[in-house]
Structure 1
């Protein structure tokens, strides 16, 4: 079982939305602790949550989502999605993403889940000396602007950075955030460097156990890796999440034109359960 903050990070759905789905009887917690009142969720609820998110993103109301969940299998849902497909085809160019989601859903309408499973390995991560820039940004997809700002600051101040090829981002929030994301980007250096704010020189924390996996393709695929970690943790009861997660972009917009060829490493800190 996962606390609501843990379930939020693993499913990439904010705590606010999980509470909203609870209040509207779309996704009730698997259990509620009778002493603390904490909401507890299970991995078996992920497929239902994915269906809710899919239906929400293609324009279904709360009432329509409730009806669809009750009639997910069979002609009713297939007819509903075909009708929505025709509607989306008539919208402007910005609605094309909805059309793609519906086509995908029609192919997998009778499946219990929509997603990809990832393999995880456990790594020990040492402390690194880094030059970092930490800001609260609009959303996760704005991280590229943060790297651009870091490059501009070092160029403007003529800072000579004895950098290695290692760069990564640290996410300081304890939950998935839809907006106002606390991100620190880090460039590993070979020696101490004097910098002024907003830049910072520091040694990152060593991590004894990191669950790591590679994500191929566009950044939208990253959420699937977090969902897979929920299944992995359920099958490895001796571990639980701890601390912050990191992300390393091995191939991205700066060295790869095709998003289908992006390569991103996800790292989530773990600890052993006694």
Structure 2
């Protein structure tokens, strides 16, 4: 009786079949030091691997399937070799956060495609207009990050202040909708400079920890009402910018938006957001 055995010196093609890593990927891992062949033929440059390297190759394949970027794969394997279970757990948790963010992005795409299928491609946006806005006394918080994370966080922080016993003693009332001010001159993926503010009246202290008390300047603005999910507002922003340019006005910064109703009270399709561009 004979049996087929894997030789100790495994050519790159066979090692690729065993680990389900492409030869192209194996060459990349060799260049980065993640998984170097045991032997390289000095004349042909051909790569050969050992049986003892199969486990590492299979683990790399698993991490690739789980969506880990190359840099994190290197960190995971290094931590595992050192028996650093806490670092491995932390890296896995970070990957879960990346996966959750990607799920949200894909759900947003799916939502948009459903609307197309239902012949709802066009956003519902009111006819733009010009309006003069007076200066406003506001409480505000400014931070950097992704729009999806920073804006709800800052709104939540302001809401916590208004529900605190301290606010009751100061007799502060909200006089208008929450708003977001976009301080960048461009769209930012991860480090957007965002301020959330709410107009108020009443007796305020000189300082509130973590919150700025200031007067927001007024002026003339191009305005339009976007109806629908917040993540779809870019189409309405585009229409408002086009309208502003056609009217002969030069859009200025920073633009802002006002949230006219509460996402806890109405479905996404009924959300109303006033888009404002200073001119």
Instruction: Give the aligned partner of residue 259 of structure 2.
Output: 249
Q: Check conservation: 1:169, 1:183, Cα contact below 8 A.
A: yes
Distance 1:94 1:150, change over 3 A: closer
The Cα shift of 1:99 comes to: 5.2
More relative contact order, 1 or 2 (CA 8 Å, 6+ apart): 1
In structure 1, the gaps of 5 or more residues are: 1-91, 109-113
Higher radius of gyration, 1 or 2: 2
Write the deviation string for residues 160-182 of structure 1: whole angstroms up to 9, x where unpaired: 32322433221111111122221
Instruction: Give the aligned partner of residue 62 of structure 1.
Output: none
Distance 1:197 1:137, change over 3 A: farther
From 137, 158, 169, give the equivalent of 2:166. 158
From 222, 225, 241, give the equivalent of 1:211. 222
Provide the secondary structure at the position in 1 that maps to 2:157.
helix
Q: Check conservation: 2:245, 2:251, Cα contact below 8 A.
A: no
1:136 aligns with 2:144: yes
What pairs up with 1:52-131 in 2 under 5 angstroms?
95=106, 98=109, 115-116=122-123, 118=125, 119-131=127-139
Q: Check conservation: 1:129, 1:191, Cα contact below 8 A.
A: no
The Cα shift of 1:235 comes to: 2.2
The Cα shift of 1:103 comes to: 6.6
Write the deviation string for residues 111-165 of structure 1: whole angstroms up to 9, x where unpaired: xxx6447421001111111111111132245412211112224545713323224
Q: Check conservation: 1:252, 1:259, Cα contact below 8 A.
A: no
The Cα shift of 1:227 comes to: 1.3
- Mapped to 1, the partners of 2:260 and 2:190 lie a distance apart of 25
The Cα shift of 1:246 comes to: 1.1
Q: Check conservation: 1:169, 1:248, Cα contact below 8 A.
A: yes
- Mapped to 2, the partners of 1:165 and 1:98 lie a distance apart of 32
Provide the secondary structure at the position in 2 that maps to 1:177.
coil
Q: TM-score, normalising length from structure 1?
A: 0.54
Q: Check conservation: 2:222, 2:244, Cα contact below 8 A.
A: no
Distance 1:139 1:152, change over 3 A: same
Provide the secondary structure at the position in 1 that maps to 2:177.
strand
From 167, 192, 197, give the equivalent of 1:186. 197
In structure 2, the gaps of 5 or more residues are: 1-102
Instruction: Give the aligned partner of residue 262 of structure 1.
Output: 271
Instruction: Give the aligned partner of residue 178 of structure 2.
Output: 167
Instruction: Give the aligned partner of residue 240 of structure 1.
Output: 250
Instruction: Give the aligned partner of residue 202 of structure 1.
Output: 214
Q: How many residues align?
A: 171
Instruction: Give the aligned partner of residue 156 of structure 2.
Output: 148
Deviating runs (4+, > 6 A) in structure 1? 103-108
- Mapped to 2, the partners of 1:259 and 1:104 lie a distance apart of 12
Distance 1:158 1:239, change over 3 A: same
Considering only aligned residues, what root-mean-square deviation do their CA atoms show, in Å?
Answer: 3.0
Q: TM-score, normalising length from structure 2?
A: 0.53
- Mapped to 1, the partners of 2:104 and 2:144 lie a distance apart of 30
The Cα shift of 1:102 comes to: 5.6
